[in-house]
Amino acid sequence: MTRMKEGRLKEGRAHTPDPAAERAEALVLAAPGRGVRRARSCALGQRSTMRSAARKGRAAPAARDSLLVLLFLCLLQKTCEPKTANAFKPNILLIMADDLGIGDLGCYGNNTLRTPNIDQLAEEGVRLTQHLAAAPLCTPSRAAFLTGRHSFRSGMEASNGYRALQWNAGSGGLPENETTFARILQQHGYATGLIGKWHQGVNCASRGDHCHHPLNHGFDYFYGMPFTLTNDCDPGRPPEVDAALRARLWGYTQFLALGILTLAAGKTCGFISVSGRAVTGMACVVFLFFISWYSSFGFVRRWNCILMRNHDVTEQPMILEKTASLLLKEAVSYIARHKHGPFLLFLSLLHVHIPLVTTSAFLGKSQHGLYGDNVEEMDWLIGKILNAIEDNGLKNSTFTYFTSDHGGHLEARDGHSQLGGWNGIYKGGKGMGGWEGGIRVPGIFHWPGVLPAGRVIGEPTSLMDVFPTVVQLAGGEVPQDRVIDGHSLMPLLQGAEARSAHEFLFHYCGQHLHAARWHQRDSGSVWKVHYTTPQFHPEGAGACYGRGVCPCSGEGVTHHRPPLLFDLSRDPSEARPLTPDSEPLYHAVIARVGAAVSEHRHTLSPVPQQFSTSNILWKPWLQPCCGHFPFCSCHEDGDGTPRMPGL
């Protein structure tokens, strides 16, 4: 199209391009097929007629008549532009694993875990090898993925303290004024479904306002967990949600109760002169203190481990062993219901997050214990979803994407058994905002006939790029009233562009900038500058064992002055920091990246913090409940109807 416009300018003749013809030709370039050839003939026929009239240099009645006839013929053939546009809106299937390491897949070099379905997806599509999460933890990474912009821009990051949502009954979550790709696709005629994990909040001020709920963010169907899997969902596992605080509160309660008992015993034996009313009053205070924290922490499984269908709670607490089959059934059903499309299905898997709930068919089958079993079950589940796409005749009309929300969880262990993922050659893991192992994730794109099979791209890309990519495929436009950090990947995926649109990428841990990446396009080098890194424990261990995840700030991090510099194109493992002696460009690179960081900081603006203490706290009036609070309990029948106990 650009070359044609340039040719017209060189001819020096007046010409008014036909918008309908140009849009039809754009669709031709994006989606080959039988109907496309007919649309191309329509578009080119319109242009040919108009050019002919322009060459003759006379008034256009004849050209207009010819154009009207041509458009009438297009209508008769049912290939006029509006229907062509609908025909070339692909179905969009986005699959996101939870806590999967990039080194856990065969297509990324693992030869001990069996992932044939994901490997085939990569073989038939495009595989990215420098695909990066915008944050190293669940909630902020997913917020950035959904909105195409860093999570701190929406307040979905922490300056200190909590780095992810802790309760279904907290008031924090993805703000209503944020625009997700689902909302834009919904506006462009897509059915939009989310099946699986949400972890972006539920309510703001009352139990039924659903201000953070998926249905308030562009999805017209939701089935899954509004929260995330934790060890608390499995009664046989140790507590996870605020485990350290919970242990302290239990200790304080025991200490206070022991004090009350001592006073009561002393009074009874006559050793202490204290009124019975005072002892009773103090006992009441201790009891109220106990109730104040145990009403939340004592029932974490009931409050957090639930399933919802749209606004209704269907299982409370959820039965873990059934969950994978329920999600699979829902996904297959959704595809069948919307096979006439177009549809968006965001399949947000619960695999492979602890507690690694795995069905008996896969237990003990891998070489890597429970974690490996769970990875192989995830691959099987994805295979079933891809089969459903093919069985419904949608393989060639579906744009499929697979990734993980961040790197594998190195600190997840059970004694000597590793319960978290493997991040391959990359240093660090989940929770570490700077090191590659925390943010480098799988990125696989599949669309037969449009994306070249077997293509491997090593350019820096981001999960935030998915937002503008799917918006473009749907025929929409990204919001112009806010900063969007992602770029459409279609030119890169199709080979129209050789280089990533990202010159710089900024890597945050909470709201703290830990590192920045410079893709030096003229040389192809990828430089990485680390300003802050976590202190591994024990020293040299490669992770923060003894903690849930590494901290972002405080005494557990090291601030580097001067910064650490790595050339990822030669040292992707970040094993050899460069110095002015070993790298002649050291000072120039540090200065260039520093200038980019300063420019980036000018795009930041203050927003309400969703992870503040007041937003994080459990609030009983916000708790999603099946039945009458606090007696919340139900399980789903085979037909999907919630069933109360005793009914």
Pair of tokens at residue 547: 């903690």
331 contacts 194 by C-beta, under 8 angstroms: no
pLDDT of 1 higher than 70: no
Query: 626 pLDDT exceeds 50?
Result: yes
3 state SS of 287:
helix
What span, in angstroms and rounded, lies between the C-alpha atoms of 52 and 447? 38
Q: pLDDT at position 645, please? A: 57
CB atoms within 10 A of CB 163: 25
Three-class DSSP category at 249? helix
**Dist. CA 417–CA 430, nearest whole Å:** 17
Question: For the residues of 329-387, what is the DSSP string, one character each?
Answer: HHHHHHHHHTTTS-EEEEEE--TTSTT----TTTTT-SSSHHHHHHHHHHHHHHHHHHH
In the numeric block, which tokens belong to residue 213?
């709920």
- In the chain, the amino acid numbered 53 is A
Helix (H) or strand (E) holding 144: helix 138-147
Domain 91-229+305-502+607-622, CATH class in plain words = alpha beta
Contacts for 277 with CB less than 8 Å, ≥ 6 apart: none
Does the CA dihedral 2-8-14-18 come out positive or negative?
Answer: negative
Give the pLDDT band (50/70/90) at residue 603.
Answer: very high
Mean pLDDT of 46-60: 41
Two tokens at 422? 């493997």
Q: Which two tokens stand for residue 72?
A: 């009438």
The better pLDDT of the pair 644, 269 is held by 269
Contact 206, 623 (CB under 8 A): no
pLDDT in tens, 66-125: 544 444 444 444 444 333 334 489 999 999 999 999 999 999 999 999 999 999 999 999
User: Residue with structure tokens 């007629």?
Assistant: 49
- Structural Rg of the chain based on CA atoms: 28
22 class by beta-carbon count within 10 Å (0-12 exposed, 13-18 middle, 19+ buried): middle
- Name which residue leads in pLDDT, 40 or 392: 392
Of the candidates 406, 363, 436, 327, the residue with the CA atom closest to the CA atom of residue 98: 406
Distance CA 340, CA 86 (A): 11
Using one digit for the tens of pLDDT, what is the confidence trace for 4-18?
A: 333 333 333 333 344
Task: State the Cα–Cα distance between residues 331 and 309, nearest whole angstrom.
Answer: 13
Sign of the Cα torsion 454, 455, 458, 462 reads negative
Query: 10 Å Cβ neighbour count for 599?
Result: 10
Write out the two tokens for 177: 């004024």
In this predicted structure, what is the pLDDT of residue 275?
A: 87
Range of lowest pLDDT (63-77, 100-114, 305-319, 568-582): 63-77
HSE, CB side, 13 Å, CA atoms: give it for residue 191. Answer: 15
Q: What is the DSSP letter of 76?
A: H
What are 436's two structure tokens?
């590659």
Predicted local confidence at residue 640, as pLDDT: 56
Q: Is the pLDDT of residue 427 over 70?
A: yes
Rounded to whole angstroms, the Cα distance separating 622 from 629 reads 10
| In 437-503, beta strands by DSSP E | 440-446, 455-457, 461-462
pLDDT higher than threshold 90 for residue 496: yes
Q: Which helix (H) or strand (E) holds 68?
A: helix 61-76
The confidence band for 63, taking pLDDT boundaries of 50, 70 and 90, is very low
435 closest CA partner among 427, 446, 447: 427
| pLDDT number for residue 187 | 97
pLDDT digits (tens, 9 = 90+) for 507-541: 999 999 999 999 998 888 999 999 999 999 998 89
* Residues shown for the chain: 647
Which of 409, 407, 511 lies closest to 163 in space, CA to CA? 511
Measured CA to CA, the distance from residue 373 to residue 115 in angstroms comes to 11
Sign, CA dihedral 195-201-203-204, equals negative
Instruction: Give Cβ neighbours of residue 520 (< 8 Å, ≥ 6 apart).
Output: 526, 527
Under 8 Å between Cβ of 605 and 158: no
Express each pLDDT in 275-297 by its tens digit: 888 889 999 999 999 999 999 99
Given this model, what pLDDT does residue 274 score? 84
Handedness of CA 260, 265, 268, 271 (dihedral sign): negative
**φ, ψ for residue 272 (rounded to 5)?**
-130, 135
CA 462 to chain centre: 11
At 266 the pLDDT is 87
> How high is the pLDDT of residue 44?
37
Tell me the percentage of the chain whose pLDDT exceeds 70.
85
Q: Return the beta strands (E) in 450-556 as ranges.
A: 455-457, 461-462, 504-509, 512-520, 525-534
Q: Find the mean pLDDT for residues 430-445.
A: 97
Stretch among 17-21, 445-449, 643-647 having the lowest mean pLDDT:
17-21
Q: How confident is the model at residue 644 (pLDDT cuts 50, 70, 90)?
A: low
Predicted confidence band at 646 (pLDDT cuts at 50, 70, 90)?
low
pLDDT digits (tens, 9 = 90+) for 174-192: 999 999 999 999 999 999 9
Average of per-residue pLDDT values in the chain: 87
In this structure, which amino acid lies at residue 19? P
Which residues is 564 bridged to in the sheet? 530
Catalytic center residues = 138, 199
CB 154, CB 175: distance < 8 Å: yes
